[in-house]
Amino acid sequence: MDIDNIIKERRSIRHFKKKDIPWKKINEILESFTYAPCAGDIQNFRLIVFKNDGKLNKACHSQSSVVESNFLVAVCSDDSDLVISYKEKGKFFGIQNTAAGIQNMMLKAYSMKVGSCWIRTYDEDKIRAILKIPEKISLHAIVAFGYFKDKPEMPLRLDTQKVISFNEFGKYRRDPLPLIKK
């Protein structure tokens, strides 16, 4: 698969097959996270990975993508060095660093025919207790992975002419951009 197809075809998968993903593939997915860009090259991310045994189901409101997943990754960050270097922007950069890593994992997974879903709704206190996440560590996301049962259709995307400004906010081109294909 080429990168354009991976980017355009990847979807959030909410229903997974009951089929184990080999640790070799899981390791490749996890490793892709570490190649994401980081502010000041401060690699603040911390990942907790585990085969799904149901322990997060209730804390994630029994979402099908969590319940049916093969493995889950809790994406955390230790922002202490970022805060030292960047003061009040440090925590914000911590979020950006982990978001870039999550995108890498999701794209890598899809390239290996593994589906993923970025879980947005969960009870943070319960997850922190279950996974024994220290107070000084930020929890940014839970990501579920598994072989997908079916792939949802592409949701509607905004036309690039409505989201890309040139030179200043709100200055949109009226003619199509020659390099952007639909």
Number of domains the chain is built from: 1
Per-residue model confidence (pLDDT) at position 175: 61
What is the radius of gyration, based on Cα positions, of the chain?
18
Q: What are the tens digits of pLDDT across the range 94-128?
A: 999 999 999 999 999 999 999 999 998 999 999 99
pLDDT at 6 over 80: yes
Residue 107: enclosing H or E segment and its boundaries? Answer: helix 90-111
Q: Which residue has the higher pLDDT, 171 or 14?
A: 14
Q: Going edge to edge, which strands form the sheet with 71-77?
A: 45-51, 71-77, 138-146, 115-119
Asked if residue 172 belongs to a domain, the reply is: no
Asked if residue 171 belongs to a domain, the reply is: no
CATH number for the domain that contains residue 140: 3.40.109.10
Question: Global pTM?
Answer: 0.89
Q: What are the tens digits of pLDDT across the range 58-93?
A: 999 999 999 999 999 999 999 999 999 999 999 999
Tell me the average pLDDT across 136-149.
97
Asked if residue 123 belongs to a domain, the reply is: yes
Asked if residue 175 belongs to a domain, the reply is: no
Asked if residue 23 belongs to a domain, the reply is: yes
Asked if residue 155 belongs to a domain, the reply is: no
Asked if residue 47 belongs to a domain, the reply is: yes
Which residues pair with residue 76 across a beta bridge? 46, 139
What's the sign of the alpha-carbon dihedral 73, 78, 82, 83?
positive
Give the residue numbers spanning the domain of 60. 3-150
The residue assigned the tokens 């089929």 is 19
Could you tell me the pLDDT band of residue 178, with boundaries at 50, 70 and 90?
low
Per-residue model confidence (pLDDT) at position 66: 97
Asked if residue 119 belongs to a domain, the reply is: yes
Average pLDDT, the chain: 92
